[in-house]
């Protein structure tokens, strides 16, 4: 079964490379979109609809106004008074949404009473009445639309989600390196001077709290006693050996390496955005997965380059990190709840618009978006998309390529 899916995916990829729309692979289920002759245009660049001697020119007018229908009527080539024509246009959109448009006379034309919102993609039904006679025309005016069988969409890994509310996590980038936090270095010395009878650990050893480090014979009591590790850590310096006198000196150094501080540089434009407790996502050199933490301290002074240093604690219980490792981070500076958002991965360009592809059954169609704020993987939608719309997220570029290769037009 996997091989069949792979072959299907390869075949569809080749179709895109050869310039063939994917919808040609599912022609049996797609609406008839065979190449047609260019429709006749009138003097106002609208579509001409004729029956016997009566004709109307239906145009989308959008100069200085939101897009609207305007219609000019003629009879045997002679202009008709628009007040003598009753006209209705119904636009059936994807999902069987119907725009019912009526007209009133204005000057020498009929003006529609509804904005023709994008996309201008619909099945058009026009009914007119003039001098006691009725007329009817129907035609397809699709743009930015294609049909793909679900099995094909699955093979191409075209994923969808439903548009709705989201939380935008706004963040700023920051860079730095790992350092050991204060108080991680412990110097070990003897409480009572004496001769070291045995050293139980060596340089580089990992030591647990309470573990025996030295056995010392006291010079005063001549009795042996042990020096135990007050903390867990690694032996990072060894200054004494068996047979030597303690002499009040440091015998070895333990360094805790189960925690680090990521010291991140934040520059003046972002000072006010960062506070103690801000969430931080860290990508650390040598670490396989991102680390989530919070800002724990902000240094009061600035560096020579005017950066302030913020501290972020990084736990390392497995002791896999090292001092000086490069850190790339994103500091969360705002969480904004919005009523409608889409994933940025689904965005594509169409004409002069930024769009997502809405899905209804096995049909896909552009939705022109008015966009607002963004944060993380989300971007706010201010207009152009209804809440609850199923839209393409992953591999939306396949829809873009298929629609461009099918030659969808924008008919005014």
Cis peptide preceding 119, ω within 30 of 0: yes
Cα–Cα distance for residue pair 11/17, rounded to 1 Å: 10
Q: Tell me if the domain spanning 150-166+338-409 has CATH number 2.60.40.420.
A: no
Mean residue pLDDT across the chain: 89
Q: Which CATH number fits domain 185-254: 2.60.40.1930, 2.60.40.2470, 3.40.50.12780, 2.40.50.100?
A: 2.40.50.100
Q: What is the pLDDT of residue 408?
A: 52
pLDDT at 407: 61
Detail the DSSP E strand segments found in 180-290.
185-189, 194-199, 206-207, 212-218, 224-228, 233-238, 250-255, 259-266, 279-284
Cβ contact 121:94 at 8 Å: yes
Percent of the chain predicted with pLDDT > 70: 90
Rounded CA-CA distance 153/29 in Å is 14
Does the pLDDT value for residue 325 go beyond 90?
yes
Q: What is the mean pLDDT of residues 259-288?
A: 93
Per DSSP, the three-state class of 185 is: strand
Nearest to 384 by CA among 411, 357, 412, 345: 357
Question: What confidence tier does 18 reach under pLDDT thresholds 50, 70, 90?
Answer: very low
| Strand 348-350 with 308-315, pairing | unpaired
pLDDT tens-digit map of 167-207? 999 999 999 999 999 989 999 999 999 999 999 999 999 99
Domains 47-143 and 185-254 share a fold: no
Euclidean distance between CA atoms 384 and 390, whole angstroms:
13
Tell me: pLDDT of 34 over 70.
no
CATH class label, 172-179+258-336 = mainly beta
Least-confidence region, from 20-24, 263-267, 329-333: 20-24
8-17, 53-62, 69-78 — which is least confidently predicted?
Answer: 8-17
Q: Is the pLDDT of residue 412 over 60?
A: no
Joined together, the tokens standing for residue 340 give 């409608």
- Give the side-chain half-sphere CA count within 13 A for 165: 5
Judged against a pLDDT cut of 80, whether residue 361 lies above it is answered with yes
Instruction: Assess contact for 146 and 364: CB atoms under 8 A.
Output: yes
**How do the domains of the chain map onto residue ranges?**
47-143, 150-166+338-409, 172-179+258-336, 185-254
2 pLDDT more than 60: no
Confidence of residue 286 (pLDDT cuts 50, 70, 90): confident
Terminal alpha carbon distance of the chain: 46
Is the model's pTM score more than 0.75?
Answer: no
CATH architecture for segment(s) 47-143: Sandwich (2.60)
Percent of the chain clearing pLDDT 90 (strictly above): 82
Asked if the model's pLDDT at residue 64 lies above 50, the reply is: yes
Average pLDDT over residues 17-42: 56
DSSP string computed for 287-349: -SS-EEEEEEEEEEEE-TTSPEEEEEEEE-TT----TT-EEEEEEEEEEEEEEEEEEGGG-EE
pLDDT classification of 27: cutoffs 50, 70, 90: very low
* Range in 7-21, 215-229, 274-288 with the lowest mean pLDDT: 7-21
Q: Tell me: pLDDT of 26 over 60.
A: no
Report whether pLDDT(4) > 50. Answer: no
Rounded alpha-carbon distances, angstroms, from residue 379 to 34, 68, 75, 344: 37, 29, 52, 6
């Amino acid at each position: 079964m996997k091989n069949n899916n792979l072959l299907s995916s390869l075949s569809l990829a080749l179709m895109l490379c050869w310039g063939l729309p994917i919808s040609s692979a599912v022609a049996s289920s797609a609406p008839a979109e065979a190449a047609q002759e260019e429709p006749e245009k009138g003097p106002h660049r609208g579509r001409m609809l004729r029956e016997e001697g009566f004709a109307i020119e239906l145009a989308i007018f959008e100069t200085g106004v939101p897009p609207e229908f305007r219609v000019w009527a003629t009879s045997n080539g002679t202009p008709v008074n628009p007040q003598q024509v009753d006209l209705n246009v119904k636009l059936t959109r994807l999902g069987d949404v119907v725009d019912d448009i009526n007209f009133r006379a204005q000057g020498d034309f009929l003006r529609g009473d509804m904005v023709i919102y994008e996309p201008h993609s619909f099945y058009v039904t026009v009914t007119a009445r003039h001098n006691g006679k009725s007329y009817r025309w129907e035609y397809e005016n699709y743009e930015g639309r294609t049909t793909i069988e679900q099995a094909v969409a699955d093979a191409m890994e075209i994923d969808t989600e439903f548009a709705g509310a989201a939380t935008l996590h706004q963040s700023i980038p920051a860079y730095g390196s790992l350092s050991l936090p204060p108080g991680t270095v412990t110097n070990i010395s003897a409480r009572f001077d004496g001769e070291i009878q045995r050293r139980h650990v060596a340089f580089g050893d990992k030591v647990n709290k309470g573990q025996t480090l030295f056995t010392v014979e006291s010079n005063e009591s001549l009795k042996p006693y042990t020096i135990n590790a007050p903390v867990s850590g690694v032996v990072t310096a060894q200054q004494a050996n068996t047979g030597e006198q303690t002499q009040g000196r440091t015998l070895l150094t333990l360094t805790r390496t189960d925690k680090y501080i990521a010291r991140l540089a934040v520059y003046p434009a972002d000072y006010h955005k960062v506070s103690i407790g801000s969430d931080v996502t860290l990508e650390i050199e040598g670490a396989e997965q991102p680390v989530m933490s919070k800002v724990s301290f902000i240094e009061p002074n600035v560096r020579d380059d005017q950066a302030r240093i913020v501290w972020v604690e990084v736990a390392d219980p497995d002791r896999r990190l090292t001092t000086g490792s490069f850190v790339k981070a994103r500091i969360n500076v705002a969480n904004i709840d919005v009523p409608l958002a889409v994933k940025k991965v689904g965005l594509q360009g169409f004409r002069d618009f930024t769009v997502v592809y809405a899905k209804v059954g096995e049909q896909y169609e552009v939705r022109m978006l008015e966009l607002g704020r963004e944060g993380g993987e989300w971007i706010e939608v201010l207009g152009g998309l209804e809440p609850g719309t199923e839209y393409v997220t992953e591999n939306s570029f396949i829809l873009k390529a298929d629609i461009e290769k099918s030659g969808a037009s924008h008919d005014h």
